Amino acid sequence: MTTTPAPEASGALPGHRSVLRDLPFLRLWAATTASGLATWALPFVLGLAVLDRVLTPAGLGLALAARTAGFLAAVPVGGVLADRYPRRVVVLWAGLAAALATPLIAAGLGGSAPLMCGAAAVVGAGQGACRPAFQALTAEVVDASRRQQANAAMTLAVRITTLVAPGLTALLAAVLDTRTLLVATGLLWLPAALLPPASPAVGPTTVPARPRAPFLTELADGVREARRHPWFVAGLAALTAVIATGYSATGVVLPLVSRDRYGTEAVLAGATTAYVAGALAGALIIARWRPRAQGRAALAGLACYGFAPLSLLLPVHPLVVAGAYLVAGLGIELFNVPWFTATQREVDPGLLARVSSLDFLLSYGLAPAGLVLIAPAMDAFGWPAVLGVCALVCFLAPAAAALVPSARGFSRRPEAVIPRR
């Protein structure tokens, strides 16, 4: 038997109890936070290994490339598996695989590049398999009226981790060597694997398991489900465009502008901190705010990322750069949380993990491609031209997506009512 969540139309009443007081969600939140921290920590610790001369820059690039390859390969597989089997089981095995592979990265560090890269690919695969399963688990564990609050709590934890973790890791690096830190990141995968609740807490229904179809057929079912929602296709195209251009360009150009125009690394640090602070503020706002045209408001937030490359293009005061990054961070969370919530609300529950895997595969998967292409583009056309084009794409792609009629509320149903608290 396969367990799936009851659809929103099942008549569940809006919950008045805060999702932060719900034990199954808190377990899922803690697991997601642990996996996010482990995901963030690996490249940071490997960077410390380069500083300690335990690892070469080329070795760092190979390890991160292997992890990305594992992630991209595992995301669609994880989506199919999380719709085929209990999502909690998929998270368990993916998390355990990442936990066991991380010490092998430490074993191969500075010695066996094949071992290090192979283990990094397994860690990336564990990360990739977890992402769509966590998305689908949120829809199982939390009732529809509280999912936006739940998704905001998830992203809030990620942003706080991003803000606090670098300093904490640097402090630990003063007393622990790099290999020990790597093993510690592997230990973070254990709560990620073991903590998610074993069964849905809200409105489960049990349906007979269908005959198992071939993998490619099940993956195609997810693609067809995504195409049934024009708002999803348009929003995903806009998100992919923003990440592949604006996100990639600012990642490459910001350090250069900080050094060459302003002559200090403080602009880089200030802009990065401002972005995280804006994202924190955005998560806090969207946990409560329910705009009437939620989809268009979210796409307007996504378009705010265009201010980041625009601020690097113009000779402005450093505080203006920080302010632009603050607005970009604010906007990205005003998009992310309603986007995840709408996907959980609108997509067939039995196909949710597969549709979510398409989201992660395209949006995050194309970011490395953008990073690879940005540097040659700057060499060919100059960084002002590249930044200008990226800013235009960031503004125009969400605007074009907002023209799709169903994008207004991120719903194919004109009468759909966004749950309010």
Going residue by residue through the chain, which has 421 residues, state the pLDDT in tens, using 9 for 90 and above. Answer: 333 343 433 333 344 577 888 899 999 999 999 998 898 888 888 888 888 888 888 888 889 889 999 999 999 999 999 999 999 999 999 999 999 999 999 999 878 889 999 999 999 999 999 999 999 999 999 998 899 999 999 998 888 887 777 777 778 888 888 899 999 999 999 999 999 987 554 433 333 445 677 888 999 999 999 999 999 999 999 999 999 888 888 888 888 888 888 888 888 889 988 999 999 999 999 988 989 899 999 999 999 999 999 999 988 999 999 999 999 999 999 999 999 999 999 999 999 999 999 999 988 777 777 777 887 888 888 888 999 999 999 999 999 999 999 999 999 875 444 544 4
Long-range contacts: 104-113, Cβ < 8 Å, 24+? Answer: 105/42, 105/46, 105/63, 105/182, 106/178, 106/179, 106/180, 106/182, 106/183, 109/49, 109/54, 109/55, 109/178, 109/179, 109/182, 110/49, 110/54, 110/55, 110/59, 113/59, 113/62
The answer to whether the pTM exceeds 0.85 is yes
Structure tokens, 195: 């903590």
User: What is the rounded distance in angstroms from the CA atom of residue 40 to the CA atom of residue 18?
Assistant: 28
User: What is the rounded distance in angstroms from the CA atom of residue 380 to the CA atom of residue 189?
Assistant: 43
The pLDDT of residue 12 is 35
Structure tokens, 375: 């540097």
Q: Are 298 and 335 in contact (CB under 8 A)?
A: yes
The pLDDT of residue 240 is 93
- Bridge-partner residues for 207, per DSSP? 2
The pLDDT of residue 252 is 82
The pLDDT of residue 351 is 95
The pLDDT of residue 199 is 57
Amino acid (one-letter) located at 84: R
Q: Are 170 and 179 in contact (CB under 8 A)?
A: no
User: What is the rounded distance in angstroms from the CA atom of residue 204 to the CA atom of residue 83?
Assistant: 15
How far is C-alpha 385 from the chain's CA centre? 28
The pLDDT of residue 265 is 82
To which residue do tokens 């034990």 refer? 23
User: What is the rounded distance in angstroms from the CA atom of residue 396 to the CA atom of residue 410?
Assistant: 18
The pLDDT of residue 377 is 85
Q: Where in the chain is the domain with CATH 1.20.1250.20?
A: 219-408
Q: Are 280 and 163 in contact (CB under 8 A)?
A: yes
The CATH number of domain 219-408, selected from 3.40.50.620, 1.25.40.10, 1.20.1250.20, 3.10.310.10? 1.20.1250.20
